[in-house]
Every structure is written in structure tokens, then in C-alpha cells.
Structure 1
Amino acid sequence: MKLDIRQFSSKDDGFRQDLDQLLSWESVSDANVQKSVENIVNRVRQEGDAALVELTNCFDRRSVQSAAELVIEADELAKAAERVDSTIVDALKQAAERVKSYHERQIQPSWQYEEDNGTVLGQQITPLDRVGVYVPGGKAAYPSSVLMNVMPAKVAGVGEIVMVVPTPDNVVNDIVLAAAHVAGVDRVITVGGAQAVAALAYGTETVPKVDKIVGPGNIYVATAKRMVFGACGIDMIAGPSEILVVSDGLSNPDWIAMDLFSQAEHDEDAQSILISTDADFIAKVKESMERQIEDMSRQEIIKTSLEGRGALIHVDSMEEAIEVANIVAAEHLELSIENPEEWVGKIRHAGAIFMGRYTPEALGDYCAGPNHVLPTSGTARFSSPLGVYDFQKRSSIIYCSHQGASELAKIASPLARGESLEAHAVSAEFRMIDNA
């Protein structure tokens, strides 16, 4: 199958403009989507379970009579795990343990120190009380997303984890429920879309209000998450999945072609980019893609993705390849090169970095250990993978002895008066030793 995937070189006139155009993506919505989501969110906020039931019946083609029918408790999750092939359950358990082990290394302890005058300063770290995890259930089901969103929350010590997942046409995916059981989800509510986000953010008679919502979703879910931010926290506004492969031309072209497919098969808007210093290798990868796509069950999605947002880019040197990689700031970056450890320190912007020829992004999606919830659409320039720290909050601790308060007041008082905040100044001055 011929692929009309764009190819260009860093030598081309207007290369940077072409690159910017390739990378451009508005992750959240047009005016129609915004209006629709606003109506849904407001209805659920005002009407609670009644709106949730009506919207779920409408959008997911169900005939639920009450919100109680939407809830799957922990004992039912265990029964779902018993219905799933034991090989899959074992794989879920192994993956969960690896994800847990990795994230345990992210735990930050509370700390404090004491100054000579008796002042104690520190930071207290506490987990969130309740978190909502959104798991897609429309075009595809992702048990791996259950593990990646839930395990760091469990490691962080979150008190309660509520998972929402849509079940269109009453089709429940037992593997997703088994993953929820393995990960330790407290309850699952079979709702999705903007109505699920609103229910988690504001609470209904059946759905408890959460402190934070995490997990991927479509444009309606992303728009709703942005809209409810402030009523609760959110992890990020995620765009389509992305992969950038940097190759020195010595990798197996069939492997690289399949790595590019691994993101393109997610959906038509996913982005797969290859950068190489070897023009002949780029040609071999393209030939491999055109050959191997014939055997792909999702070939039409892959073709649309590659032709719409994919690219094959030739550069003159590895230094230039790394420079372009930092501009792209990809969600997934594969360094399929010799001695990747020599170059990884030069990568400033990437969600996850996969080093060497034997480290495909697919392993990171399921079981390597690091989180697969990653910044997309260039946001790796300023944000990070989901982790334990996303499920904790930090409180500053300040204790002043009399002497410490007196010394600090001598600093605070003139600053407060400089801001014309007299009460601040006097409040501090009251604690001075001469005034006590």
C-alpha cells in the first residue's frame, strides 16, 4: 500500500516553518464542542443523578433506570477478574507490580529543619483524599491505562479511588474491570464523556466528589476537564498520542516502521515522526511501512494518521537530530542509536525517552514501569509524566520561637509598611521581644 507521508530535510528552505506546521495541534475544541460540554456539565452539576442517567442512556445507548445501576463495587471487580483468561490476569499483576515498584521510588518524605533561634521550617506531604480515574471505553478499551493511573495514586496513599468508564450498548470489558481489581480501585461507575467528568468534579447523589481527575479521553472529556478545573484538580489536557524516533540508520528498518505504526494505530490524529541522518535508511523505512501496513488490522487508521500528521525528516548530523527532537518535545522519544547514553543528557524536552535499539515505546505502554501518561503536543517543555507527586500535596510548616519571631518581625515590619499594609506590620511587631 502506497503511503503519501510527507518527507523533508533540515536543508530545505522554510524547514522550521514546515516543522511548526507539522506539529501544530489545538487539543481542545471548537465552539460547538465547547457549548455542548458546557450544557452537559451544567446539567449534571444542577440535576445530579437524574441528568447523569439521562445523558448516559442517550450517549451510550443504554436503558438505565437509576444511578445505582451504574455502580460496580469491588466484589464485582473481583468476579470480573475470575472471568478473564488467567494469562492476562497474570500479565496485569506483573505489570502492576513493575509500575508500583518504579513509582515507590518517587515517594517524597515530609521534612523540617531547626534554625539556631528555635524557628522550625519544613514541608508536610499528604496524599489526596479521593481521586477520580477516567478510562476510555469507546473505540477501544485500555486496561493499561487503569494500571498507569491507579498505581501511583495507591503508592501515594490516596484514600479512595473512583474509576469511571463508559460502557456503550451495555458492553462491559472484563479485562478493564480485572485491571481495576488488580490495581485496587474502590468502585467503578459505568459512565463516560463530559457527564462523567462533571459528576466526579461536583459530585451527585451516587458519584462522590473527587479532589482530582486523571486519565485520557476524547475531545469532550478534555474540554470538560479544562472546564471543571478549579472545582477539582486535573492531570493534564492531553492531545493525540505521538512518537518521535531518532535513528542513526543502523537499526532494522522493519522495527522502526512498526514503532511508528505503534502510535499511528491509536487514532487518525496520532503523530509518528522519524528523524535520521541517513537518507537511504529513511527510504528503507518507508518501503517497510508500505509493505508491513498490508498486514495491520488497523491499516486504515494507520494510513490516515501517517498521511495526515506523520513525517520522515532527514538531518545532517546527530547534533541536528537532537536539536529538532528538542523542538518537537515529543510524548515518546526513541533514541534508536549507538551509545544513546552519550546523547540522552542533551534531550531537554520529552515525555519519556526510550534508549537503544531494543527499547520500543510499546514496552513502556504496558509494563516497563515508568508511567505512560505523558505530556503531549509539545507540553513536555514544561510538564512531566504522571507520578506519585500528582496525587500528593505539600503544606509548608512554620514554627517560630519567641526569639525567632522577634528577628523575623524586624524583616517583615519594614516590608509590610513598604506595601502600606499596616496590620501586617503591627501583627509582626507584637511578637517582638521588646513588645511582648
Structure 2
Amino acid sequence: MTISPELPATSPAAAVTFRTVDLRGRGLTLAGLRAAVPRARQHTMADAEQKVVDIIKAVREDGFSALSDLALRFDGVQQVHPRVPAASMARALAELDPAVRSALEESISRARRFADGQRPRDLDVELGDGALVSQNWVPVSRVGLYVPGGLAVYPSSVIMNVVPALAAGVQSIALASPPQKDFGGLPHPTILAAAALLGIDEVYAIGGAQAIAAFAYGVPAHDAGPALEPVDVVTGPGNIFVATAKRLVKGVVGIDSEAGTTEIAILADATAQPALVAADLISQAEHDPQAASVLITDSEDLAAAVRTELDRQAAGTKHSARVCEALSGPQSGVVLVEDLAQGIAACDAYAAEHLEIMTADAPAVAARIRNAGAIFVGDYSPVSLGDYCAGSNHVLPTSGTAAFSSGLNVTTFLRAIQVINYSRAALQEVSGHIVSLSGAEDLPAHGEAVTARFREAN
């Protein structure tokens, strides 16, 4: 679930114009399919880059003073220090709706079980007598987790970021979320409560690109409060300014991804239930006017029935204007394919953040998909399940990047360190090969560093 926190206010719905892309009979290559499937008109990073460069520069040079100015400018909040007091965390948890607390606890439990199972095992490989090469997985020391604000509230994103970091063994975790004017300049209390449930006590009321800058470079202590120490890895969803900031600090810190606006693709055939297909397309369109909702099908009858359902359901949903705008945008629509094979090829070309399979023998079809952030199989595995309580992680690659990247998981917070331990005899066994290769590369000192160990003087 990738999030754009700046959502427009709800207004009366317009009609849904769910466009059609017909791939039948076109014999498209992978490149052709990638060009043909619906995509959002991307804001270029250049649109945001200079603003983000200025924000990063201000935070690096002026520290908490800059953060205070930016909180006033962007959030309308007067701020002395962004650290959330421990008393505010405790109060948020104490006042949390019991039903919401129970739901969060269940989500945490399922996410923990899945994350604990993800941790890779250390590996020892003996390549000969006295020749041992190992790979040890070691957690990063400190991470910064970003949870967006805006009109929506995302305690689920607290869980999705924190749980795999804890499972990886990270010892120092800081969390940032935008200050909310309605809550005394603190992040939303449900965000604070979720953090408290997970034992995270270092929480900052900082939003947007400035939060990413503060995590990456740290902020020195000043009279009003302690330092914010820099982190090793930054994760979490956000808008284009957050994504741009993450790209600009990549290399100073590790990042999970430069996530864009959320998207869903549904591969469906004539056996699918139109009402369920429409409901799931709408569930992602609810996030943002730029959200992408794509149906890939070989059934014209299903496509027509889904259009009817979209009109009916969109008119009755709370954020109907936002939903209709998203469904009517160039990033959304029906992709008509000749058959299931072309449908699978279109799915792999699209490489959806969320891909639902609503076909006959859905598990077998899902097994044929190569590119997706997460695959949801059958009528009873909607994306909403993954957003909250499946146990999987909803921080996933978007905009086709699922073709080469993965969703947030335990390994995001781990490093694989290789350990080489050779005895004298084991090194001597390969010394001739090393000398030969170092000569071939015109790096003779490499070979000499080996032969020096076997001279008579030694």
C-alpha cells in the first residue's frame, strides 16, 4: 500500500470513464506491452527536485531551526522540538479505541510471524580442507521509518515498517510522521498508539522531505532538546517529495524504494464476480486521484459488467469524487487480451504493486506470474487483506519496478557479510591460480601478496 498523503477534499462524484486498451490481435513484444498498458502521467522528479534540494540543505545547515520553520510552513504548527514526549505516547495508547487496539494487535501478531520466518540463515561453505567461506546476516544499527499523514491515517504503515526491522534485530528505531494541527502539533494519536504497542519510543513530529533529510544526516542537539542521530536505512511510503528526498539521500543511507502512487491490477476471466472485481478496483482508487486501477481480462462481458458495477459502487462510496477521478484517469482502465497467456504476459509487463488473480484455477495462474509486488489469489484474498491483516507487508514496489525489486521485508534491514577463513595449505592450493589471474589483469602485486606468504624467510 503506497500512499500519497496530500489527498483532495471529498466533493460530489463525477461519472466513471473507465477506458479500454485493446491488445487483441496486436502481437506485442514485451516492450510493446509495457508501452501499451495504462500508466499514470508521471510527475517528473525534476518538478520536485529543486524544492527538495533546498529542504535538505536547510535541515543540514540549520537543524531544528529549519525543521521548526518547515513545520510552520507546511503543517501550520508552531514547534519547539519535534520529539514526541513519552507521556503523549502513553496517553495515545491508553485512549485508543479497544476495537482498533485489538485489530492492531492481530495485525502485529500476523506480521511478526511472517517476518520471523523471512530471516535468512547464516551459511558456511567448506571449499576444501581448511578453506571456509561464510555468509553472516547482520542487522543495520539504526533505521528511520516514515509514516505519512494528510487526510488519511496509517497506523498499518507503522506496523509494516517496524515489524520487519524488529525481526531483523535492529536495536535503534526512530519513527517520523507529520505534525497535525488538530492534535497539538503531534502526529495522529493512532499513529502514536501503534508505535507504543510496538515498543517504539523515539517518535518525531516531522513530515515530508525534511523527515528524510533529518534521518539521513541527523540533527545536532540544541537548547530545546536532544540530537536526532543519523540512521543507516530509511523506509516508508510518501508523496513525490518524500520519494525525491529518498532518491537524493540514497548512498548516504540505504532506502527501501522510491515508491509512487498505489496501483492494483486484476487478472480476471469470465468466471470472476463483477461486483468483487469492481469493489477491489475502487478500494485502491480510494487512496488518491492518481491511483491506478487496471482490469486485465479476455472477457468483454466481464468488462462490461465491471463497468456497470463501478458506476454503481463508486456513486455510493464515501470518497466518490476521488475514486471517480482515479478510475477515469489515464492510469486506469480495462486491458482486453486474447487469452489467458496474453493476460499473464500483460501482467508481467505491467508489474503491478498489487496483482489479484480472479480466474479459474487461480493458484495455478498465480504460479505463472513473474512480476508483481504481491499476488492475491482468488476471491477471498483481496488487497485490503494485505493492507491490514494478511501478515504480508504492504510497502511494495510501484510503477513497474516490481520487475526488479521487492516489497519491504526483513532483508531490507540486514547486510550479508562474507567471511573468508583459509589455512596456509588451503591458500597454497590456489596460489598458482591467483598468480595467473593477477598477471592476466596486470595487477602483479596481487599475486605477490600471496607468494610472499610462502618464501623461505617465512
| TM-score using structure 2 length | 0.90
Question: Is the counterpart of residue 425 in structure 1 residue 437 in structure 2?
Answer: no
Question: Is the counterpart of residue 322 in structure 1 residue 344 in structure 2?
Answer: yes
String of CA shifts for 1:213-258, please: whole Å, max 9, x gaps: 0000111111001001111110000111110111112222111111
Amino acid at match of 1:160: S
Shift of 1:35: 0.7
**Match of residue 211, structure 2, among 196, 203, 209:** 196
Partner of 1:216: 237
Stretches of structure 2 lacking an aligned partner (at least 5 in a row)? 1-13, 221-226
Partner of 1:341: 363
Percent of aligned pairs sharing the same letter:
37
By relative contact order (CA 8 Å, sep 6+), the higher-ranking structure is 2
Paired residue secondary structure (1:105): helix
C-alpha contact 2:19 2:328 (8 A) present in aligned 1? yes
Give the alignment of 1:208-357 within 5 angstroms.
208-308=229-329, 309-357=331-379
Partner of 1:104: 116
Partner of 1:117: 129
Distance of 2:101 and 2:375 partners within structure 1: 28
Distance of 1:19 and 1:113 partners within structure 2: 41
Distance of 2:91 and 2:121 partners within structure 1: 37
Question: Is the counterpart of residue 8 in structure 1 residue 21 in structure 2?
Answer: yes
C-alpha contact 1:134 1:214 (8 A) present in aligned 2? yes
Shift of 1:15: 7.4
**Match of residue 93, structure 2, among 81, 86, 95:** 81
Amino acid at match of 2:346: V
Shift of 1:30: 4.3
Question: Is the counterpart of residue 366 in structure 1 residue 388 in structure 2?
Answer: yes
Give the alignment of 1:58-97 within 5 angstroms.
58-64=73-79, 66-67=80-81, 70-74=82-86, 76-97=88-109
Paired residue secondary structure (1:72): coil
Give the alignment of 1:175-190 within 5 angstroms.
175-190=190-205
String of CA shifts for 1:87-125, please: whole Å, max 9, x gaps: 100110010000000111111122213343312210111
C-alpha contact 1:161 1:187 (8 A) present in aligned 2? yes
Amino acid at match of 2:55: I
C-alpha contact 1:137 1:165 (8 A) present in aligned 2? yes
C-alpha contact 2:285 2:293 (8 A) present in aligned 1? yes
Shift of 1:355: 0.6
C-alpha contact 1:242 1:271 (8 A) present in aligned 2? yes
String of CA shifts for 1:4-49, please: whole Å, max 9, x gaps: 1111322266978686255445766443421111011011112222
Query: Does 336-345 or 198-207 show the bigger shift?
Result: 336-345
Root-mean-square deviation (Å): 1.9
Shift of 1:338: 2.0
Question: Is the counterpart of residue 381 in structure 1 residue 403 in structure 2?
Answer: yes
Query: Does 21-30 or 313-322 show the bigger shift?
Result: 21-30
Structure 2 CA distance for partners of 1:15 and 1:306, relative to 1, 3 Å: farther
C-alpha contact 1:29 1:223 (8 A) present in aligned 2? no
Shift of 1:427: 0.8
C-alpha contact 2:71 2:179 (8 A) present in aligned 1? no
Shift of 1:323: 1.3
Give the alignment of 1:6-85 within 5 angstroms.
6-11=19-24, 20=35, 22-25=37-40, 29-64=44-79, 66-67=80-81, 70-74=82-86, 76-85=88-97
Distance of 1:28 and 1:211 partners within structure 2: 28
